[in-house]
Structure 1
Amino acid sequence: MNNIFKFFTPQDKKFHPLFEQAGSNALKIAETLLEMVSTGDAESRKTIFKEIERLEHVGDDITHSIFLELSRNFITPFDREDIHALATAVDDVADYIYGTANRMQMYNMIAINEPIVKIAELLVEMCTDIDKAIKELRSFKNIRVIADACIRINSGENQADYVFTLAVARLFEYETNAIELIKQKEVLQTIEKATDKCEDVANVLETILVKNA
């Protein structure tokens, strides 16, 4: 009988801590990427990359745990499809941040251009807002925090789009080494995609807010 009651009890004690871990991990991996692109020392970058790789695996484990809890529990703190969408979107942010760092390592990039650093800074700001907004999902007592965070995330994505477009245009105008152009463009595309995924998180958060606030 206790197992039956447990089955129908909302699993706030399981889902919310997992989402908060995912949000915190996304922020950590964004901060670590910024550290990586801000250093000029190749050996330091290797060490920092290993930490990014570790954090990406941590994110995968958290996402797997959320999906596992979703399959085990009938009652959830908010709609099942929104739980799945939010977990996937946050995991995508970490994946593209890792993809950015991985390309930098594989391509043995020596010079990191300023637009990459700028987008990395925007990513930290956006992931900070993701972390704050996710923490507010426990109670929905301060919905303004979630709404304002989503607005800032959308604004950050627009800024990243502008930085990316201008950076690619300048690459084609001034970069004479075709191989270096390809390297820089691919890294720029991947890091900009990470900001798109942050916007996806904001979109899911707004959906949850509309349904539950």
Structure 2
Amino acid sequence: MPKISIIPREEKFFDLIELSAKNMVSTAQELDELVNNWADVDNKVARIADLEHEGDSIAHQIINLLHRTFVTPFDREDIALLAHTMDDVTDFIHSAADFMFIYKTGRPGERAKELAGIIVLAAKEVALAVPHLRHKSEMKQVIVHCVEINRLENMADVAFRAALGELFTDSKDMANIIKWREIYEHMETATDRCEDVANVLEGVALKNA
């Protein structure tokens, strides 16, 4: 006999979305810890990989629940897009950390630390925003956090351009330039994906306010 869940499916969607956001914050914090305390690198990168896999699992659970649910708390397309974009954030965080390890870059500089810090702040804003989706009366709060995520993404763009400029100015080692350019691109893309999440959240908030 199949198991019968006593938790309404609508609540499950919100629970999984919030779990994904928390996982995103944990992944970002692990990256921040990695770049600021460059020791035990292999184990730290392994933890980030585990969190990225957890993010994949949560995204799959959301999509599977979509396939089994007739009535959803908001548009099906928005739920699917939210699941995928949040998962993308952890993917790019993992890529940045993984390439630091694979390329044996050595201790990251101040720009990597700056970008990692911005990623943490943006992820935290997502985690603060998503619980408000449960209540139509709180949709305006979602937009407040989306505005802050957009501001942080702009900060990341500035930091990214500065990082590239310094990289090509300060280093004559072409291999090092290529390595760090790719890592910076992954970090900056993580903030871009946070902005993508914010755009989805803002759309949901405006449709359901």
The answer to whether the Cα contact below 8 Å between 1:132 and 1:145 also exists between their aligned partners in 2 is: no
1:58-77 equivalent positions in 2, closer than 5 A: 58-77=54-73
In 2, distance between residues paired with 1:91 and 1:178?
A: 32
Deviation of 1:130 after TM superposition, in Å, equals 0.2
Deviation of residue 146 (structure 1)?
1.0
Partner residue of 2:141 out of 138, 145, 156: 145
1:106 matches 2:102:
yes
Match of 1:18 among 5, 16, 20: 16
Q: Does 2:161 match 1:162?
A: no
Aligned counterpart, 2:47: 51
Structure 2 stretches lacking a partner, 5+ long: none
C-alpha distance after superposition, 1:36-78 (max 9, x if no partner): 111122xx12111111011001000000000000011110000
Match of 1:32 among 16, 22, 30: 30
Aligned pairs, number: 204
Equivalent in the alignment of 2:78: 82
Residues 122 and 194, structure 2, Cα contact 8 Å, conserved in 1: yes
Counterparts of 1:119 and 1:53, CA distance in 2: 19
| 1:140 to partner: Cα distance | 3.0
CA contact under 8 A between 2:86 and 2:197: conserved in structure 1? Answer: yes
Q: Is the 8 A contact 1:20 1:135 kept in 2?
A: yes
**Aligned equivalents of 1:69, 1:38: Cα separation in 2:** 38
- Aligned counterparts of 1:118 and 1:174: Cα–Cα separation in 2: 18
Measure the CA separation in 1 of the matches of 2:139 and 2:111. 33
Q: 1:111 Cα shift?
A: 2.3
Q: Which 4+ stretches in 1 moved above 6 angstroms?
A: none
Structure 1 unpaired stretches of 5+: 1-5
1:3-33 Cα deviation digits (max 9, x unpaired): xxx9xxx731211111010011001100111
| Alpha-carbon distance in 2 for matches of 1:107, 1:168 | 18
Q: How far did 1:202 drift?
A: 0.2
Structure 2 length as normaliser, TM-score? Answer: 0.94
8 Å CA contact 1:150, 1:202 repeated in 2: yes
| Cα distance in 2 for residues equivalent to 1:145 and 1:209 | 9
Q: Does 1:205 align with 2:201?
A: yes
RMSD of Structure 2 on Structure 1 (CA): 1.4
TM-score normalised by L of structure 1: 0.93
Aligned partner (choices 131, 149, 160) of residue 135 of structure 1: 131
- Correspondence for 1:3: none
CA displacement 1:122-157 (0-9 Å, x = unmatched): 011000010011111111332332111101100000
* Paired AA for residue 17 in structure 2: F
User: Contact 1:15 / 1:66 at 8 angstroms: preserved in 2?
Assistant: yes
Residue pair 2:139, 2:208 contacting (<8 A) in 1 also: no
